[in-house]
Structure 1
Amino acid sequence: MEFVLTPDYFDTVERHFRRLHEPAFGAPHAAADPSIRPDGAAIAFTGSVFTELVGRPRTRVCVAEATRVRILTEGAGSQRMPRFSPDGRLLAHLTDAESPGDFQLDVLDVATGTSVWRPRVPGGAVEYLSWSPDGSALLLGVAAYGADLAGGQGSGTIADGPGEMPDWAPEVDSNSSEDGARSVWIAELGTEPGNGTVRQVSRAGTNVWEACWAGPDALVCVAGSGAGEESWYTADLRRIAVADGSETVLRTGGRQFGVPSASPSGRAVAVVEALCSDRGVVAGDLVLIAVDSAGGAADSVRIDTNGVDVTSTGWPAEDRLGWAGIGGLDTVVGEVDRASGKVTEVWRGTETFGGRYPELSFSPHGHAGVRHGWDRFPELAIVAGRSVRTVASLTHPGADYVSAKAGVAEEVTWTAPDGTAIQGILCRPAGPGPFPLITHLHGGPVWSFRNSWSLAFQGTPLLVSRGYAVLNPNPRGSAGRGQRFAEGVFGDMGGAGAQDVLSGIDAMVARGIADPERLGVMGGSYGGFLSAWLITQDERFAAAAPTAPVTDWISLHHTTNMPHFDRTFLADEPRSFTGHYVERSPLRHASNVRTPTLLTGGALDRCTPPGQAREFHRALVESDVESTLVVYPQEGHGVSGFPAVIDHCARVLAWFDAYMAPEPTV
């Protein structure tokens, strides 16, 4: 069947998203960055609010308490990342009211809701913040204007700062270690918040990617010497003195560090150590470090979490460490008693908390987060004891509309050719199969699908409602099954992991779920690479739709902002122009492709630049393969702004309908 993109597809998809979002216009429809009030009676969070389906939603500081949600901030710009002070009297957050994308600190009086202090950090935007244990100061993580955003943030760069750059201004990329640097600052409130001071703590030449308080007089930071995105992969864990910025290295290693936290006194530090493919996407081993009186690491121990990859940490008390993570397809919340060393699993469920990975705000009164699942619209909830208490739900009639059309989601397991058990989540229409099956491949590769609202792609419920089954596999390289499983992709991208995917498709065909004549594949980032790779290796696919793919590892290495990634995960050398850089590049095998392919890129993508999709498209056209290239001028690593989301989903739906449409229903 020939591909025909009719206006009906755009109308259908636009109606779908309007029915989903319009009932919630003016109210938060999504939540992130939870902060539990010290008394445990309320949760502050970042709420995403649409008033029209244009661009990305504005974000507002919201509070959930007593079964209801209140929006605390209004007006120009967006506000995000609220954090209660230790006494619950103040609420700090970030706002870009003065200049889009240039987030700065704002401190509210909780009782009155009024701003009491809004200082400005010179030369950069604030990315994150946290209160000192005694509530006298705030830590501010600051990125210089023009610094790279991580792929998980959509790629692109931090705002250019106050004022607009002229149209003729060039893009400048140098090898200076200070370009786009990240630093850590302290905002000291003083006797009154309004007369406080702001000063930089980290020294020149130290790039701080992530930081937390370690007692009132020190910080623990993931830091290194380079400011480029690739430098994150080799950063170490350091203690920085607040008084003078002096540094002590606490831990180094061949893996990456993330989500550090420290006990109120600063004498104990927790950090996650893992093999990671993207900054900010960290899931792995929980390491506990004892800090001596001189500020050095006295000893360290790797905590046994029973195979769970930890993604979030926090200290409800001096000797009580909370953590959350992924165990297989489950989300798990646990605690460590530092005095006895006992590890307790507090809660485990098939639904999840948080966004890309499980994230919680830890307190003595319970651990707060955003809970959701395929059948559960996001809600603010508290894990206390071994139960979960809903504080307030964000559900609305639009969510009910989607749930009624989205069929069912179920866990599935199959066996790879080498005997390894592989897990995934199958979303399918109600009733018996076989259905046309689209295999949706996640990014990373070190990431994973969990039972979540929309399964990480806004178009998944729409595809199911139109008669498609969607298989979301977690092949080796995925998080949730320990570092050895994640390392299974190391030096073998497109190898055994690809066979994990193909064996999953075989299993769905054998079980009568998938129609072997109507098989499709899609994915973004690493999932885009794997989608493009599979169609060069196997002719079973009727259609493919890679987004933000890698198609030529050599050109990717020389154009991406994170070249450390491909060199590490391919375990090869790009300048040799041989080996995995050639053998595992879809472009080099494009003449094998027979599958009609829809390629999507974002013009602002610095992780997998759109040239990757363009190269593969040109190669397919020269091989007389049906191929369409779509590049969105205002999108980065993925498609997230409206109406581009509508356009992308319409094209994906029309593409699969053209080559593997479901049978008409009677």
Structure 2
Amino acid sequence: MSEIEKRPISVEDIYNIAYVEEPSVSPDGRWIAYVHVTVDRTENEYRRNIWLAPTDGGKPIQITRGGKDTSPRWSPDGGTLAFVSTRNEKPQVYLLPVKEPGGEARPLTSMPNGATNPAWSPDGSRIAFLSPVNAEEREKEDRGEEAAPPEDKFEARQQKERRAYEEEKRWDPRLVWRIPYRSGTSYLDDRYAQIYVMPVAEGLEGDEARPRRLTDLDADYAQPVWTPDGEYILTARAAEPDGDEPWRTSSLYRIRVADGAEERLTDDSHTDSTPLPSPDGRWIAYRRFPEAKYFEILRLTIIPSEGGEPHDLTLEADLELAESVRPWANFKWTADSSALIFNANSWGNVEVYRVTVADGSIETIISGRMAVEELDLGPQGGIAFTASMPTNPSELFWMPPEADEPEQVSEVNKKFLDEVIVQETHELRFRGPDGLELQGWYLLPVGYEEGKTYPLAFNIHGGPHVMWGPSARTMWHEWQFHAARGYVVFYCNPRGSGGYGRAFRDSIHAAWGENAFPDLMAGVDALLEKGFVDPERMAVTGGSYGGFMTAWVVGHTDRFVAAVSQRGVYSLISFYGTSDIPSLISAEFDVEPWEAPEFLWKHSPLAYAHRIKTPLLLIHAENDFRVPIEQAEQLFALVRRSGGTVKLVRYPREGHELSRSGEPRHRVSRLNWMIEWFDTYCMPQKEE
């Protein structure tokens, strides 16, 4: 299709964009298993199926069709894929033979509360997995009373209905005894993820056929990982599981498979997670983060396999590991155990690096205008990874051993991209008020004509220590959509953002609004100097910390004619008492609310609500337990009662991830509310 025949991207294209997730290279290096994500418009849901892509350049093939399949894991011999499916509501581990096409998946687990995070033993005879259970259920298991669902379908349905009724009754009324007691979009209960081991052979009977639980604590265990000798399982859990916010410090543990004996490998001074043993068994690599110090950078660290003094491999280079989108390691050992491959944030891109264990030397091996999200390493050193780019929101890539450049092996968005106009992303370097170099990007509107001026949609990222760049997958469609509707789109990384080193991240400590605001305005001023933005038609928006800054901006300047603040923090004091991460406030501002309420109020956008004269649209999810909706309710009330123009859009059933993974129809609705609000004040001629 020629460029003339292509159409602008629309809000409805949410239904047309596909994504690639969870690449996993087969033991022989010939195949990459991955999850292909699409949107089902009719059912208003996402569909996830597992595909196989050959690394020699052949065409990918689909191997599951249930629409609810994730977490592909190769058996050591490459003949079977374990995966997790919710095709029968509760997640369970399934096994699919892949040596011959057309094999049928069989369920391995039938855990009453579900099973996730499968991990093959080195000899392929067993799989470790996680399943949440409470103390009473663990006691029943120990007595042999917790049986699998009945084989009779009628009896199984009756048992399921009885369990659902008993579960509802058990939490009416709901007792709260810990902090946090909510997470995501739901309340936490008294169940904790425990590690189980189960044989994969068919035809076993009695105890040999049942899963065996290795752990027995009121603590959530993380992804299990086998040691190369098959004798131990590595994991992480809260160092103090009985305390509030137990995740603030977590330690690595080694669990003996034979008897469940648990040995602690790291202390409680940091948040340690995602352990990964080296192939030779000498080392354990993991992610390390100082206790709840959000301004610190995430480090790649190693310790001896028996435990010992940690050695940070990336700290001296001031290199920040990219946040993993999965609960397992997003770094890999080379086959000879001499180095680790990982992705890290750097000046707007997410690149792939190699660090040598012996001397700590670091080299970049995959770079450019892309954001590498997930990666896996083949046996000969080839790298499979998923990435987004300015011209494509998601694809799968393969960089063969010894190659200099990666190859794209999927085309999940080819049909869509062949039909639409994709606007180029331009970099803008500018200076903050103190001369600090800052980085931003802009998109020109579809149909742009030199000499004309256009309205601006200024976007502010969340975090606060997030990094945006030209390949930000979660914003790709939104920015292209705003450009298609006639807006110049601008976003930048003010001080406090990730990707520019520890000092840059820490530069908004105890001063979120004051220190970032001048950088944001400097970015807008630099863009205005280019002459294509109409200064009388500028809108501002952001989510989470970006919502905080949106409210802060319009409370401190009237240069914007419209604002859309989403899932924002507006009162640091009440956020502390209602969020599932209250320690964010004490870590970022060095005080508890009772110690300095006036200080926290001064640093809250709510304190300046009476100044807001910019028409303000608030968007918030009713089940957002990260930033509860009371934040939006307070800002709405204060702006309204002080004479401002404000509306609040509330989304039922949704949480903090509404814009990224909420119900598709809600995501479409959200974008429509935003663009209509922008158009009302930035393009009033459309309303006539």
Identify the TM-score tier after normalising by the shorter chain. 0.7 to 0.9
2:668 paired with 1:646:
yes
Residue 335 of structure 1: how far off its partner (Å) = 2.0
1:290 touches 1:300 (CA, 8 Å); kept in 2? no
Q: Aligned pair 1:389/2:407, yes or no?
A: yes
Gaps in structure 2 of 5+ consecutive residues: 1-6, 135-158, 180-187, 323-329
TM-superposed deviation, 1:649: 0.8
Amino acid at match of 2:521: L
Amino acid corresponding to residue 197 of structure 2 in structure 1: A
Counterparts in 2 of 1:613 and 1:119: CA distance versus 1, 3 Å: same
Instruction: Return closer, same or farther for 1:328/1:487 CA change in 2, 3 Å cut-off.
Output: same
The C-alpha deviation readout for 1:211-236, integer Å capped at 9, x for no partner, is 43333222333321338993222223
The structural deviation recorded for 1:631 is 0.5
Determine the structure 2 residue equivalent to 1:115.
105
Q: Percent identity?
A: 25
Cα distance in 1 for residues equivalent to 2:411 and 2:625: 36
**What is the TM-score when the length of structure 1 is the normalising length?**
0.85
Question: Which amino acid letter does the alignment assign opposite residue 129 of structure 2?
Answer: L
Contact 2:93 2:116 in 1 (8 A): no
Larger radius of gyration between Structure 1 and Structure 2: 2
Is the partner of 1:558 in helix, strand or coil?
helix
Q: Which of residues 41, 44, 51 in structure 1 aligns to 2:33?
A: 44
Does structure 1 residue 361 correspond to structure 2 residue 376? yes
Aligned Cα root-mean-square deviation (Å):
3.1
CA contact (8 A) 1:276 1:446 kept: no
Does 1:338 pair with 2:357?
yes
Which residue in 2 is equivalent to 1:551?
Answer: 570
Matches within 5 A, 1:116-265: 116-122=106-112, 124-143=113-132, 163=161, 164=164, 170=172, 172-176=174-178, 179-189=189-199, 191-192=201-202, 196-215=209-228, 216-224=230-238, 225-226=240-241, 230-252=245-267, 255-265=270-280
Deviation at 1:268, TM superposition (A): 0.9
Shift, 1:210, TM fit:
4.4
Q: 2:482 aligns with which of 445, 455, 463?
A: 463
1:392 is paired with a residue whose SS is coil
Cα separation, 2, equivalents of 1:544 and 1:588: 18
Partner of 1:503: 522
1:343-364 Cα deviation digits (max 9, x unpaired): 332121211222xxxx211223
Q: For the residues of structure 1 that align with 2:456 and 2:683, how far apart are their CA atoms? A: 10
Moved more, 481-490 or 219-228: 219-228
Which region of structure 1 is more displaced relative to structure 2, 607-616 or 134-143? 134-143
- What's the counterpart of residue 15 of structure 2? 21
Residue pair 1:139, 1:184 contacting (<8 A) in 2 also: no
Relative distance call for 1:541 and 1:490 in structure 2 (3 A) is same
Distance 2:666 2:551 in 1: 22
Tell me whether 1:296 sits opposite 2:307 in the alignment.
yes
Alignment CA distance shift 1:386-1:175 (3 Å)? farther
Distance (Å, rounded) in 2 between the aligned partners of 1:229 and 1:469: 45
Partner Cα distance (2:65, 2:292) in 1: 37
- Structure 1 residue 513: Cα displacement: 4.2
Bigger shift: residues 622-631 or 384-393: 384-393
1:154 counterpart residue number: none
Per-residue deviation, 1:646: 1.6
Residues 608 and 173 (structure 1), Cα distance of their counterparts in 2 relative to 1, 3 Å cut: farther
Question: Which letter maps to 2:193?
Answer: S
> Structure 1 residues 627, 298: CA separation in 2 closer, same or farther (over 3 Å shift)?
closer
Provide the rounded CA distance (Å) in 2 between the counterparts of 1:481 and 1:644: 34
* 2:673 maps to amino acid: R
Deviations 1:487-518 (A, max 9, x none): 22332222312222122112111232432222
Measure the CA separation in 2 of the matches of 1:310 and 1:650: 35
Residue-by-residue CA offset, 1:348-399 (whole Å, 9 max, x unaligned): 1211222xxxx21122331111122121242211133431022222123323
List per-residue Cα deviations over 1:568-627 (Å, max 9, x = no partner): 122221223624421121112111111111101111111111111111111111111111
Instruction: Work out the CA distance in 1 between the residues paired with 2:437 and 2:203.
Output: 56
Residue-pair matches, total: 618
Contact 1:19 1:401 in 2 (8 A): no
CA contact (8 A) 2:129 2:197 kept: yes
CA distance in structure 2 between the aligned counterparts of 1:335 and 1:456, rounded to whole angstroms:
28
Q: What is the identity, as a one-letter code, of the residue corresponding to 1:547?
A: Q
Partner Cα distance (2:251, 2:504) in 1 = 23
Going from structure 1 to structure 2, the CA distance change for 1:221 and 1:375 (only over 3 Å counts) comes to same
Structure 1 residues 182 and 300: CA distance shift in structure 2, 3 A: farther
Equivalent position SS for 1:128: strand
- Secondary structure (helix, strand or coil) at the match of 1:497 reads helix
C-alpha contact (below 8 Å) 1:137/1:186 kept by paired residues: no
| Aligned amino acid, residue 205 of structure 1 | D
Deviation at 1:283, TM superposition (A): 6.1
Match of residue 150 from structure 2: none
Runs of 4+ deviating beyond 6 Å: 166-169, 275-279
CA distance in 2 between counterparts of 1:315 and 1:255 reads 23
How many angstroms apart in 2 are the aligned matches of 1:197 and 1:489? 53
Match of 1:72 among 63, 70, 73: 63
Matches of 1:637 and 1:78, distance apart in 2: 22
1:325 Cα deviation from its structure 2 partner? 1.4
Report 1:383-422 matches (<5 A). 383-384=399-400, 385-402=403-420, 404=421, 406-422=422-438
**Residue identity opposite 1:186 in structure 2:** Y
Relative to the length of structure 2, the TM-score reads 0.82
2:560 is equivalent to residue 538 of structure 1: no
| Cα pair 1:234 1:254 within 8 Å, conserved | yes
What residue in structure 2 maps to residue 310 of structure 1? 321
User: In 2, distance between residues paired with 1:522 and 1:277?
Assistant: 28
User: Which runs of no fewer than 5 residues in structure 1 stay unpaired?
Assistant: 1-12, 146-160
